[in-house]
Every structure is written in structure tokens, then in C-alpha cells.
Amino acid sequence: MPGTESQGQAPDRGVCIRPVRGLPLLAPGDDLAALLAAGLDREGLRPESGDVLVVAQKAVSKVEGRFVRLAEVTPSARAIELSAATGKPAPLCEVILSESVEIVRTRPGLVITRHRTGVVLANAGVDASNVAPTEEPETVLLWPLDPDASARRLRGELQARYGRAAPAVIVSDSLGRAWRLGTTGQAIGVAGLAPTRDRCGERDLFGRVLQATVTGVADEIAAAASLVLGEGDEGVPAALVRGASWTASDAAGLPDLLRPIADDLFK
């Protein structure tokens, strides 16, 4: 077994993912930790040591007020260029550029950038669905300013409430992949857990030392949570994941999950 530094129960009983439902529509300044705790209560869920609370990026962004009204955005020359290349509205391109450090690929209908956090993704995470009522058209929602900091803040508030049983926190979004169709839940901010799990040095079934087995455990947990998180009209902003094995860390964050640019073979 993974050893003493891993948290979470052994996989004997498996892993369960419970939706945290029934939260109100979220607005800037809402106390997300309190709302999530109330949601956990309503579900009869009491956090246990080893749990991970996965919170949808949109929920975090909304309480952090990361809305932008496109009518108030003045596109730069570069945004106008990007708009011509992609067919996306120039104000939206301006917002995407303002959230990015690099344009990775473009083509009509598609822009893939390196977000300022280092994540490579479509539209720099700028999203127009589930953002605001249709009476407020053209309002988009950006990622949190610092998703790791958001996760840490949320975890701190949960620690004040639950003490040592407070869950680790993952902020997740549904992201595309280079060669595969369909999005999967992936971690964009973490607090309390190491997002990768290095199994080098552990032994395989035949006693051979594993050479290069690093699992992206935070992404696997985010993907699992995505099976219950709502993107449509379910309105499920969070899920509690119980039973996964992971390594506790107060220092780790999203950068541990991102391939360094120098190693990027697909820039």
C-alpha cells in the first residue's frame, strides 16, 4: 500500500462521490464556505479526514465577482486580429487575451491559450454559460484571480468549521484535451493535497521498482467529481469525494500539476 503519508481510507471500501446540491444562485460576496457547509449538512454529509471537496470553478468565480460585461470592454488591435482569425467577438477576444500569457493555437471558432496560471485551454477559461440571466446578455465569467489561493481560502474556512476533519479542496473546471473529444473535470486549484502522486520507488506485483509512475490524482478526483457536478440545469456546484488515496500537502498547488514550459513538446 502507498505508505504512511497517504491520506484517505484504503481503497477497500472504494471511493464515493456525493453531490452537494441545493445551493442558491451564487453572487459576488457570498460566503461560499458557509453555503457549502450548509449544503453538506442538508445532504447529511459530515466531512471526515481524507475527504476532498471538489468545487466547480464557476461557483468560486461567481462569489469572487469575476464577471465582465463585454459591452464595457474596448478591444485592442491584437484582440481585433484574434477576432478576425477566430470569428469570435473582439471584446471576448480582448478578455481572453487579458487572461492569457500566450496564444497556443487558433483557427476559426477556436482559440487555445496558455492561461496566466499556466493551464493550456480553450478560451482561457472565459465562459458564457450559466453565468447570468438572459436579461443580462454578454456577461462572461473569468477564472478566479488565483485558483490555488481560492482553494486555500476555502479550505481555511472549512478548517475553522470542521477542524482536522476539514476536507482538502480542489477547484475544478471541465477542460478539453489535445487529441481526445469531450471535456473532463480537471483541477485548476488545490489546497491541502499534493495534486500528483509519485509512485516511483514503490514496487509492482513482481517486486520490480516502478520507474515512472506519477499519477495526476487531483485530476482523477476532479474527473470523478465531474460525474456529479452539474453543467446543465442540475446546479450542483460541489461534490464530496471520500475514499481516494492522496498525499497531504499544505505547500502544493496547481504548478505541481503543470508540465514546465521547457518540457512542452506541443507549444
- Stretch touching a copy of itself by CB under 8 A, among 27-35, 79-87, 144-152, 173-181: 173-181
Give CA–CA dist 90/83, Å, rounded. 5
Residue 149 or residue 258: which is nearer to a copy of itself going by CB? 258
Q: Which of 95, 170, 244, 252 binds a copy of itself (CB under 8 A)?
A: 244
Least distance from a copy of itself to the Cβ atom of residue 28, Å: 17
Please, what sign has the CA dihedral across residues 23, 27, 33, 35? negative
- Stretch touching a copy of itself by CB under 8 A, among 6-14, 90-98, 142-150, 156-164: 6-14
Residue 150 or residue 246: which is nearer to a copy of itself going by CB? 246
Q: Which of 4, 44, 108, 208 binds a copy of itself (CB under 8 A)?
A: 208
Q: Which of 50, 91, 195, 253 binds a copy of itself (CB under 8 A)?
A: 195
183 contacts a copy of itself (rule: CB under 8 A): yes
Residues 74-113 that bind a copy of itself (CB under 8 A): 105, 107, 110, 112
Please count the CA atoms within 13 angstroms of the CA of 48 that sit on its side-chain side. Answer: 10
Residue 192 or residue 195: which is nearer to a copy of itself going by CB? 195
Judging by beta carbons within 10 Å of its beta carbon (0-12, 13-18, 19+), is residue 15 exposed, middle or buried? middle
174 contacts a copy of itself (rule: CB under 8 A): yes
Give CA–CA dist 114/127, Å, rounded. 16
Q: Which of 226, 238, 252, 253 binds a copy of itself (CB under 8 A)?
A: 226
Residue 71 or residue 262: which is nearer to a copy of itself going by CB? 262
Do residues 32 and 153 touch, judged by C-beta distance below 8 A? no
Q: Which amino acid is it at 254?
A: L
Q: Which residues of 110-149 are buried (b: 16+ CB within 10 A; e: fewer)?
A: ebbbbbbbebbbbbbbbbeebbbeeeeebebbbbbebbbe
Do residues 255 and 118 touch, judged by C-beta distance below 8 A? yes
Q: Residue 19: phi, psi to the nearest 5? A: -70, 145
Residues 23-62 that bind a copy of itself (CB under 8 A): 25
Q: Which of 49, 76, 98, 184 binds a copy of itself (CB under 8 A)?
A: 184
